Structure 1
Amino acid sequence: MPNAALHELNFEIRDGMRVSWDVPVTMSDGVTLRADIFRPIEEGRYPVIMSYGCYAKGLSFQEAYAGQWEVMTRDFPAIMQGTSNKYQCWEVIDPERWVPDGYIVIRLDSRGAGRSEGVQSVWSEEEIKDYYECIEWAGEQPWSNGNVGLHGISYYGANQWHVASLQPPHLKAIIPWEGTSDWYREVFYHGGIRSGFLDLWLPRQLPMQHGYGERGRKNPNTGEPVAGPETLTDEELARNRVDKVAEVRARPLADDYYHGVIADLSKVSVPILSAANWGGQGLHLRGNIEGFTQAGSQDKWLEVHGLEHWTHYYTPYGVDLQKRFFDYFLRGVDNGWDKQPKVTLQVRHIDPGAKGSITGRFVQRGEDTWPLERTEWTRLYLQANGAGLQNEPIETSTYCEYDPTGAGATFTWPAQDKDIEITGPLAAKLFISSSTIDADIFLVVRVFDPFGAEVVFRGAMDIHTPVAQGWLRASHRRLDVERSLPYRPYHSHTVKEPLVPGEIYELDVEIWPTSVVIPAGYRLALTVRGKDYEYEGEIDQSDKTHRYPSRGVGPFVHNDPLDRPSEIFNGKVRVYTGGGYDSCLILPVIPAAQ
C-alpha cells in the first residue's frame, strides 16, 4: 500500500481553494507518483473526485489544445462563465466548478508521465494497480470523508472500468466519460484488424512523459515543467517507456497479454454514470454501452450524446448531470437522482437543408432500458443484383464482387415515405468468399439526402462521421456463443482460421451502436469495403476542431502493412445474396410515438 497518511499538506490559497502541488504518493514498489490536490478552504472531511492518467496534470487545456478550446468555447460560451479557467486541463474536471460545492479534486500523473517517476506503460495493468493504491490512499486521508469518486474523459474514463472491477473499498462511484472498457476490441484491434490509433497517438504523448522537463511546456500556475523536474535525453526517455506499439503488434489475438486490460465488468459494483458518444466510432462509444449493460452494479445509468468527445463534459448540461450523480452518491444529497431515467439519449435528427451538409440536432429523451424495449428488430436483405436493401429475402442466389482497394459495394434502401428512427446496436450477417486466405470487412452505415449527397455528422474525433461503422477480419469469425446476441455478435479473437480461396463463409459482423432519425425522402445505405471509410466531400483545412485529418475515421485508421499485407488483403471479395445466402443488415427501428 502507499505511504502513511499525510496529516498536513503544504498549500496555498488560490481562487477560493487550498491548492497543494506535486504531493508525493508512494506506491508499494517504491515508485513515487505526484498529485495536485484542490480542497475547500474550510477545514473538514470531504468526498474526493480523482483522475489518474498520462496527459500531464499541469498542462493547460487552452495552450496545449488551443484549437479544441477555441471551437468548444465559441460554440458553448457558458463554459467560460463562473470560473477563472486557470486550472482547465485536458479531459479532466475544472476544480473551480467542484471545490466550492464541497469536493476535493485530485489529479494524479500516472507512472512515468508528467511529474510522476517510473517506467511508463500506457493502457496497462500496471497503471490500474497504481490507481487502486491511489484510491485507497485518498480514502484514508484525514481531509477525506472516505468516499472516492472517479471522473474523466477517454483515457481517464477507460481506466475507471478496470480499477472498479478490482473493487477498492473506498471507491464509491464512477463517471467514465467516453472511455473504453475493452482495450483489445476498442483500442488495439477492431474486429481483429489492428487500429493505427496508438501509432498516431503515442508520439503526441512524448512531451508529457516524465523527464521531458525543460523541453516541454510549463504549468501556467506554478511555472514548473509539466513533465519534469529533470530533463532526460531521448535515449533515457526511450528506456523509461514500454514500446506499446511493438507489444500490441506482436499479439494480434486476444491472448493472456490482454487479460488485465479487458475489464471484468461483472465485478464492477459501484454506482455508474456511463457517458458515450454516437460519433465515437473507434473508441468513445462501444465501451460505455457495454459497460452499462454488462456491469454488475445495481445503480447504473447510461447517457449518450453527440459532438466532440470532450464538449459536453464541460458544458452546463454535462456538469449538471455529473454533479447531481456525485452529490447523490458521494455527499448523500437527496436531489431526486434516484428518479433519473436509467437511459438518457440525445437522439440525433437530420435537419433537411443544403445537400450533403454536416448537419443535425439532438433531442433529449429518457428511456428505461438499453436496447430500447420497443425496438423492432428489422432485417434488410442485401440484393447483389441491383445493389439494394429490401425487407424480404431474395429467392435467387447471386453475388457482387469488389476490389478491397476501391470504394467497395454499396447497398441502398429505397427512400421511405415517413421518418424512420434507428436507435440501438446494429449487426450484419454476410456470406462472402475471398480470392485469398483472408479478408478484412469494413462496414459503413450511411444516409444520403434526396439529391444523392451523403449526410455526415460532427463526431467524437472527426467532423465527418457516417451513421455507424463495424469491422471484422474473416479469419477471426469465430463467435463466443455464450456472449453473443442476435443484434450484437461477440467474437472470441482467440484463434485464427484462414479461408480457403473461393469457398463461401458466413460472417456475423458487429456494427457499433447509433441513433438517427432519417427524414422521409432520405435513403439509408450499407457499404461493404476492404479499407477504411473516406468522406468524399470537401475538407475545410482551416477547421481546428480535431487534431487529426477529418476524413471520416479520425485517428482510427487500419492501414498497417504488417497487419494487412497486400498479397492477402487486396484479393477480390464476393458478397453472396439470396437463395439461402441471406446476407442482411440488422437494424434497431424505433416505432414512432402514438
Structure 2
Amino acid sequence: MSSRGLAVEGNDAQITPRSEAVGGMRIDWDVPVPMPDGAVLRADVFRPDDEGAYPVLMTLGPYGKGLAFQEGFTAMWQRLASAYPDAVTGTSNAYQVWETVDPEKWVPDGYICIRVDSRGAGRSAGQLDMLSQQEARDYYEAIEWAGTQAWSNGRVGLLGISYYAANQWLVAALQPPHLTAICPWEGFTDFYRDFNHHGGILSRFGQAWQDQQIFTVQHGAGERGRHNPNTGELVAGPPTLTDDELAANRVETIGEAKRRKLIDGFSQARTPDLTRVQVPVLSAANWAHHLHTRGNFEGYNQVASPQKWLEVHGNEHFAEFYTDYGVGLQKRFFGYFLKDEDTGWDQQPPVRLNVRHVDGSFEGRDEAEWPLARTNWTRFHLDAQSESLSTTEPSAEQTVAFPALGPGADFWTEPLTEQLEITGPASARVRLASSTTDADIFVTLRVQDPDGHEVSLVSAIDEHGVLAVGWLRASHRELDQERTLPHQPWHSHTRNLPLNPGQPVDLDVEIWPTSLVIPPGYRLGVTLSGRDFQMPGDGPWPVAYGIEQRGNGVFVHDDPDDRPAGIFDGVTTLHTGPGSGTSLLLPVIPATPTDKTSTFADRQKEPDHHA
C-alpha cells in the first residue's frame, strides 16, 4: 500500500485529503470539491490506479460517505449477505456504503466511483438542507467538477438507491453538461405525494428517518458518531458541535413539511420538473415500496428523454441493486452510454417487468410500454350487503358503517375459477359519509389462499407486505382534471374541502402500481378503513424505527397532530350499489397478448359506465 498527499483547496483546513493504492485501485479520500459560493464539499474517489481517463459514477447525499453499510445498517447487511450471497461475493466488501455502488465491482471494469457528502452532512461543512434547490445546484457543480478532471473521460452517470435516486431527478432537470445518463433505483419524484403526504395524509416515516438516519451523520456530530473503518476518521466530523449549533446548521425539512398541510412552494422546490430530464434514463422500480414505487413509474412516464427504460422488480428495497441481476443490468446500461460498449442495450425493450407470483417467485417479461397496452381495465364492484367484490354491479343500494380507527370493512371475490393477473396502476371510487368534518380512507388490496390464509408478499421494507395500497383524505378529494386518468386520479392538494357530517361525497383514490398472478382457488379482496391496514395474526412483527411492520413497513399514518381526535376518530359510512359507483378499477392482463377471451375478467366483465 502506498500513499501520497493531495493539495488542499477550499476553506476547511481541518481535513487533509490523502490517497492510497489498494489492489490496482486508487482511493482518494476527502477530496475537496469547490462550490461557486466558496463552500467545499468532500468526496471519496475510487478509480483505476493508472493514468487513464474513465467514466464517472456519482452519488451525492446526506448519509455519510464513510459510514460502513455493515455498521450503519447491520440488519439490512445481514439480510443481504444471507439471502443474496451473490451480492457480497467477488469483493472484500471493505468499501460498502448504504445504497451506493461497491467500487470493487466497478473500478476493475474501468469506472470511477465518487461519493460526495452533501452540504452540511458527513465531512462537508455548511447548512444541511435536504433535497433543496441548493443541494441540486451543488450536485450540478460536483458533476461538472468530476467531468473535467484529468482522470475523467467527460461522461458522468448517476447511480444509487432511495435518496441517491430521488436527487438524481432533481439535478438531471438542471441539465448539467457533463451528465450523460442516470439510473435512479427506487427513488421518489414527488416530495408531497410520494414522500411526505400519501393522499394528503402525513406519513410518519419521514420524522423517524430524518432523526435517526440523517441528523446522526450531520456534519458536526463528530465524536458522537462513528468512524470510517478504512481511514479511522470521523464519519461526520472533524468538529463536534453542540446540539444548538447542529440545529442552527440545518433546515428542519420534515418539520416544515409536516407543518405545511397542502402543496406549496416548499414541496414544489423539492419536486423536479421531469419534462426537463433529457439524458438517457433507466428507472428501476420496486412493486411494493410505499415511498418509492410511484416515483419510478412517474419518472419513466414523464421525462422528456427519448431514451428511457423502466425496470420493475420485487424483494427487499436494497437487494436487487447489489445482486448479479441488478449489477449486470446497470453495467449494460452504463457501458453503452458512458463507454460506447456494445452491450446490446440498443436492443433493450423499453420495459422489463419481473411479474410477481403468490409463491414469491418472479416471471421476467419484456414489454413495449407502461401501462401495458393490452390491459383489460376491469371494474370490480363492492357490495355492502354480501360483503362481496365482483365484476357484477350490485342491484340494490346498501351502506356499511365502521369506526374510523377500527379494522374497517372487507370485501372478497368468490374463489377464482381461472388465473387472474393484475399488473399496473389502479384506482378506487368510493362514496362515503363521515360523522365528522373529515375522514381518511385507506384502500388495501389483499389475497387469500384456498384455505383462507392471508397471502403476504415481501415488500421493499416489510416481509409481510400487502398487494397494493391507496390513501386519500376526504377533504383533499379535489382532482386536477387535466392530469387525472381513470386508472390514476391526480389530486391537487391545494385546498381543503371539509365534509358536512352525514352527507356522502365521492372520492377517487389512487392505488399505486402493483403486480401479482393470482391462481385459481384464491380470492382477491379489498379492505376499506380509516387507518393503516394490519396483517392478521399475533406476530411477533418486525420493528424498524420503532414502528411495528404489519403490512405497510415503516410507512404508517398515525401522527396525532395530523389526525386529531374529534375529526379522524369518527364513524365512516360506506355506500355501495348502482348509484354509488363504489368500486375498484383494476389492470387485468390477459393470459396471452393475443387471447383476450379466456381471462377471468372478460368472462365476467359487465359494461363499465364510470371509466
TM bucket (normalised to shorter chain) is over 0.9
Moved more, 509-518 or 545-554: 545-554
User: 1:561 is matched by which residue type in structure 2?
Assistant: P
User: 2:529 is matched by which residue type in structure 1?
Assistant: R
Is 1:120 aligned to 2:128, yes or no? yes
Give yes or no for contact 1:218–1:226 (8 Å, CA) kept in 2: yes
- Paired position in structure 2 for 1:356: none
Cα distance in 2 for partners of 1:39, 1:107 equals 12
Cα distance in 2 for partners of 1:171, 1:453 equals 50
User: 1:384 is matched by which residue type in structure 2?
Assistant: A
Is 1:266 aligned to 2:297, yes or no? no
SS of the residue 1:235 aligns to: helix
Cα 1:261–1:210, aligned 2, differ >3 Å: closer, same or farther?
Answer: same
Query: Deviation per CA, 1:314-345, whole angstroms, max 9, x where unpaired?
Result: 00000000000000011111221011121111
Cα distance in 1 for partners of 2:454, 2:315 equals 18
Cα 1:31–1:201, aligned 2, differ >3 Å: closer, same or farther?
Answer: same
Is 1:513 aligned to 2:499, yes or no? no
User: 1:256 is matched by which residue type in structure 2?
Assistant: G
Cα 1:82–1:455, aligned 2, differ >3 Å: closer, same or farther?
Answer: same
Give yes or no for contact 1:462–1:546 (8 Å, CA) kept in 2: no
Give yes or no for contact 2:308–2:350 (8 Å, CA) kept in 1: yes
- Paired position in structure 1 for 2:570: 571
Is 1:417 aligned to 2:443, yes or no? no
User: 1:295 is matched by which residue type in structure 2?
Assistant: V
- Paired position in structure 2 for 1:554: 553
Counterpart mapping for 1:398-413 below 5 A: 398-413=398-413
Structure 1 residue 242, shift from structure 2 partner: 1.5
- Paired position in structure 2 for 1:370: 370
- Paired position in structure 1 for 2:206: 198
Structure 1 residue 548, shift from structure 2 partner: 5.0
Query: Deviation per CA, 1:82-102, whole angstroms, max 9, x where unpaired?
Result: 111110000000011111111
Cα distance in 2 for partners of 1:532, 1:327 equals 43
Cα distance in 2 for partners of 1:206, 1:41 equals 35
Query: Deviation per CA, 1:341-384, whole angstroms, max 9, x where unpaired?
Result: 21111111013xxxxxxxx1111111111111111000001111
Cα distance in 2 for partners of 1:536, 1:111 equals 44
Cα distance in 1 for partners of 2:115, 2:375 equals 41
SS of the residue 1:241 aligns to: coil
Cα distance in 2 for partners of 1:81, 1:435 equals 58
User: 1:141 is matched by which residue type in structure 2?
Assistant: Q
Query: Deviation per CA, 1:500-535, whole angstroms, max 9, x where unpaired?
Result: 112121111000010001111111111101001112
Counterpart mapping for 1:215-294 below 5 A: 215-280=224-289, 282-294=290-302
Counterpart mapping for 1:308-387 below 5 A: 308-351=316-359, 360-387=360-387
Give yes or no for contact 1:68–1:546 (8 Å, CA) kept in 2: no
User: 2:202 is matched by which residue type in structure 1?
Assistant: R
Cα distance in 1 for partners of 2:59, 2:110 equals 17
Cα distance in 2 for partners of 1:80, 1:565 equals 46
Structure 1 residue 546, shift from structure 2 partner: 9.1
- Paired position in structure 2 for 1:527: 527
User: 1:340 is matched by which residue type in structure 2?
Assistant: Q
- Paired position in structure 2 for 1:355: none
Moved more, 77-86 or 366-375: 77-86
Query: Deviation per CA, 1:9-47, whole angstroms, max 9, x where unpaired?
Result: 952101321110001112222221100001111212211
Cα 1:545–1:476, aligned 2, differ >3 Å: closer, same or farther?
Answer: closer
Give yes or no for contact 2:191–2:268 (8 Å, CA) kept in 1: no
Give yes or no for contact 1:394–1:582 (8 Å, CA) kept in 2: no
SS of the residue 2:230 aligns to: coil
Please, which of 148, 154, 158 is the counterpart of residue 146 of structure 1? 154
Identity of aligned residues (%): 54
Is 1:392 aligned to 2:414, yes or no? no
Cα distance in 1 for partners of 2:336, 2:545 equals 34
When normalised by structure 1's length, the TM-score is 0.95
- Paired position in structure 1 for 2:499: 499
Cα distance in 1 for partners of 2:255, 2:570 equals 27
Counterpart mapping for 1:434-473 below 5 A: 434-473=434-473
Give yes or no for contact 2:358–2:457 (8 Å, CA) kept in 1: no
Structure 1 residue 247, shift from structure 2 partner: 0.7
Structure 1 residue 551, shift from structure 2 partner: 1.4
- Paired position in structure 1 for 2:106: 98
Give yes or no for contact 1:284–1:309 (8 Å, CA) kept in 2: no
SS of the residue 1:186 aligns to: helix
Cα distance in 1 for partners of 2:544, 2:102 equals 21
Structure 1 residue 537, shift from structure 2 partner: 2.5
- Paired position in structure 1 for 2:172: 164
- Paired position in structure 1 for 2:96: 88
Give yes or no for contact 1:426–1:513 (8 Å, CA) kept in 2: yes
Give yes or no for contact 1:463–1:545 (8 Å, CA) kept in 2: no
Give yes or no for contact 1:539–1:550 (8 Å, CA) kept in 2: no
Query: Deviation per CA, 1:218-249, whole angstroms, max 9, x where unpaired?
Result: 11110101111111122211211212232112
User: 2:173 is matched by which residue type in structure 1?
Assistant: S
SS of the residue 2:579 aligns to: coil
When normalised by structure 2's length, the TM-score is 0.92
Moved more, 251-260 or 545-554: 545-554
User: 1:432 is matched by which residue type in structure 2?
Assistant: L
Give yes or no for contact 2:143–2:179 (8 Å, CA) kept in 1: yes
User: 1:266 is matched by which residue type in structure 2?
Assistant: T
- Paired position in structure 1 for 2:588: 589
Is 1:303 aligned to 2:311, yes or no? yes
Cα distance in 2 for partners of 1:250, 1:488 equals 27
- Taking only aligned residues, the RMSD between alpha carbons, in angstroms, comes to 1.5
Give yes or no for contact 1:67–1:545 (8 Å, CA) kept in 2: no
Structure 1 residue 80, shift from structure 2 partner: 2.3
- Paired position in structure 1 for 2:13: none
Cα distance in 2 for partners of 1:225, 1:443 equals 45
Cα distance in 2 for partners of 1:579, 1:592 equals 30
Structure 1 residue 538, shift from structure 2 partner: 4.1
Cα 1:387–1:567, aligned 2, differ >3 Å: closer, same or farther?
Answer: same
SS of the residue 1:311 aligns to: coil
Counterpart mapping for 1:4-23 below 5 A: 11-23=19-31
Give yes or no for contact 2:191–2:271 (8 Å, CA) kept in 1: yes
- Paired position in structure 1 for 2:220: 211
Give yes or no for contact 2:543–2:549 (8 Å, CA) kept in 1: no
Give yes or no for contact 2:444–2:533 (8 Å, CA) kept in 1: yes
User: 2:407 is matched by which residue type in structure 1?
Assistant: A
- Paired position in structure 2 for 1:477: 477
Give yes or no for contact 1:109–1:115 (8 Å, CA) kept in 2: yes
**What are structure 2's unaligned runs of at least 5 residues?**
1-8, 11-16, 596-611
Structure 1 residue 540, shift from structure 2 partner: 4.3
Cα distance in 2 for partners of 1:538, 1:344 equals 37
